[in-house]
Amino acid sequence: MEATAGELERLVVGRGLASREQVAAAAGGAADALALGQALVRARLLGPAELAGLLGEVSGAGAGAGGGEGEDRVGPYVLGPEIGRGGMAVVRRAMHSGLRRPAAVKLLRGGAAASEERRVRFRREAEAAARLRHEAIVPVHDVGEWRGTPWLAMDLVEGDTLDRWIARERPTPREVARLLRPLCDALAHAHSHGIVHRDVKPRNILVGTGRAYLTDFGLAKLLPSADGPAEESPITHEGALVGSPLYMAPEQIRRGFGDVGPRADLFAYGCVLWEACEGRHPFAGAATPLEAFHRICEEEPGAPARLPRGLEAVCRRALRKSPEERFADAAGMGRALDAALAEGAGPPARRVRRRLAAAAAPLAIAAGALAFGLAAPGDASETRRLAAEAQAHRAAGRTAEAAEVECRLAWRLLDEGPGRDPAAAEDAARRAVGLAPDRWKCHGALGRVLAERGRPAEAATAYRTAIALMRAARESPHEYAALLRRCEAAAREEKP
């Protein structure tokens, strides 16, 4: 039997959570327990987590068997076949028995034996979703617990995850960008309500009926907002990594790049957009998560093959290492994406550079130096920007910041492609070491450059210095392991 508003009211009043008058004032004619519960949450008489527990109690009385992954019913939902499975939960097609409305029901794997961390994460998804109402976010309608198994019910999206949809449909970059454009508005909506998703990735984006939807707020960070307080009990211990490795912003990977805030979602969105348009992740090629972390924190994406110029510029700004260098907010990124889509198709930037180089070749015969300037290395504007930024920091006496930028410039000059210039990369790395001789990153960058230039003995010395500085600072253990491997490789090459 479906739970009634009266049953929930008796439970709320009986436990002293609200008076009968307060419930009546908030109810507004609610006819069932769910509608009343939502009204009480809006009136701030109940929290989402409290509502979840109460609904589980009142709906469980006549619900029949349920709760486990293989059982047929939870609360008012009759469960159908499994439509998705992840490390934490199983998603099943379902039907609301009273409203005859299709839904997707997510059940926490492990049931009553699930760890407290998993339960908190599951509850957080419901709490985050309760703050949000946006057409590009999959809404959560109902939450509960049956025989120890937490569950939540959300809209059923008839479609597939973004990665599978792209593999099947093979869309053009502009089609992908148009599809994903509303997610900028979805993120802006979430951020305005004090929610940072922290796990934007292709598998958390559903595509159905020609539209994209953001889902799974299980790793969301709840910030103070008008809709509620900040999170009170974090689900991870201090220093733990939160997110999916290939889509984590540098500030999620380690401290020192800034607090993990809304701009971390913009970095992940930039990764998703680049990968979906290009068919290749911007930091692809890493064999391990540790190597992926290093690429994300230290390297720049290579030249794209399919991305039009405007879309590439949007992605590159979103993928800046420092949060302050990215878009100010998701709405601003959406406007930049609109402008890029309005520019027209345009060939990928790499092809334009090749055409410019070909056009400049005849000029080289008549005016060699000038033509050389026209046929500048790939994405020379970004190289010039980094060089100018480093110079500005040096002029202002900000040596640490200048060293940081010189390291990034060195990594960029080592990129494969027409812009590769190992000699200039060495100059940048040596300037970084001169500016900040006590920073392990500068010596590590120099070691990488020297190894690329075929000087293993010097590379091993630079790596050893970087490792010693890192040990002294007691920081970045994952990067320490990567440096140690490079040092050992350089030492092997050093031996006759």
For residue 120, give the H/E element and its range.
helix 116-131
Instruction: Determine the Cα–Cα distance for residues 256 and 250; give it in Å rounded to an integer.
Output: 9
Provide the CATH number for the domain formed by 160-342 in this structure: 1.10.510.10
Report residue 415's pLDDT band, with 50, 70 and 90 as the boundaries.
low
**DSSP-derived pairing of the beta strands 102-108 and 211-214:** unpaired
Kindly report, as residue ranges, where domains of CATH 1.25.40.10 are found in the chain: 386-494
Instruction: Determine the Cα–Cα distance for residues 183 and 206; give it in Å rounded to an integer.
Output: 11
Q: Give the pLDDT mean for 103-114.
A: 82
In the chain, % of residues over pLDDT 90? 28
Whether 244 shows a pLDDT value over 60: the answer reads: yes
Q: Based on C-alpha coordinates, what's the Rg of the chain?
A: 27
Amino acid identity at 415? D
Whether 484 shows a pLDDT value over 90: the answer reads: no
**pLDDT tens by residue, 206-219:** 999 889 999 988 88
What does the pLDDT read at residue 351? 46
Proportion of the chain in helix, strand, coil states, percent, rounded to 5: 55, 10, 35
Q: Count Cβ neighbours within 10 Å for each residue of 280-292 and write b for 16 or more, e otherwise.
A: ebbbeebeeebbb
What does the pLDDT read at residue 337? 96
The residue ranking higher by pLDDT, 482 or 421, is 421
Of 314-323, 365-374, 455-464, the least confident: 365-374
Report residue 488's pLDDT band, with 50, 70 and 90 as the boundaries.
low
What does the pLDDT read at residue 362? 38
**pLDDT tens by residue, 362-398:** 333 233 332 223 233 345 677 888 888 888 888 888 8
What does the pLDDT read at residue 448? 85
**pLDDT tens by residue, 279-300:** 999 998 877 778 888 889 988 9
Kindly report, as residue ranges, where domains of CATH 3.30.200.20 are found in the chain: 63-156
**pLDDT tens by residue, 319-367:** 999 898 999 999 999 999 999 999 865 555 444 444 444 444 333 323 3
The residue ranking higher by pLDDT, 53 or 177, is 177
Whether 241 shows a pLDDT value over 70: the answer reads: no
Whether 229 shows a pLDDT value over 60: the answer reads: no
Whether 50 shows a pLDDT value over 80: the answer reads: no
Sign for the pseudo-dihedral over CA of 184, 186, 192, 198? negative
DSSP, res 228:
B
The residue ranking higher by pLDDT, 418 or 35, is 35
Closest by Cα among 320, 382, 371 to 349: 382
CATH fold label, 63-156: Phosphorylase Kinase; domain 1 (3.30.200)
Instruction: Determine the Cα–Cα distance for residues 316 and 282; give it in Å rounded to an integer.
Output: 9
What does the pLDDT read at residue 285? 82
143, 55 Cβ separation under 8 angstroms: yes
Residues 199, 216, 265, 415: which is the catalytic one? 199
What does the pLDDT read at residue 489? 65
Long-range contacts of 449-452 (CB under 8 A, 24+ apart): 449/410, 449/414, 449/422, 449/425, 450/426, 451/486, 451/489, 451/490, 451/493, 452/414, 452/422, 452/425
457, 494 Cβ separation under 8 angstroms: yes
What does the pLDDT read at residue 444? 85
What does the pLDDT read at residue 470? 76
Instruction: Determine the Cα–Cα distance for residues 321 and 263; give it in Å rounded to an integer.
Output: 11
Report residue 58's pLDDT band, with 50, 70 and 90 as the boundaries.
low
Kindly report, as residue ranges, where domains of CATH 1.10.510.10 are found in the chain: 160-342
What separation, in Å, do the N-terminal and C-terminal C-alpha atoms of the chain show?
81
For residue 157, give the H/E element and its range.
none
The CATH H-level (homologous superfamily) assignment of domain 386-494 is Tetratricopeptide repeat domain (1.25.40.10)
Token pair of 190 as six digits: 């979430």
What does the pLDDT read at residue 172? 94
CA distance readout (Å), 120 to 150, 155, 220, 263, 390: 10, 22, 11, 24, 44
pLDDT mean across residues, the chain:
78
Q: Give the pLDDT mean for 39-57.
A: 75
The model's pTM is 0.57
The residue ranking higher by pLDDT, 456 or 183, is 183
- Give catalytic status of residue 199 as yes or no: yes
The residue ranking higher by pLDDT, 36 or 315, is 315
DSSP letter for each residue of 340-372: HHHT----BHHHHHHHHHHHHHHHHHHSHHHHH
Where is mean pLDDT largest: 24-28, 60-64, 222-226? 24-28
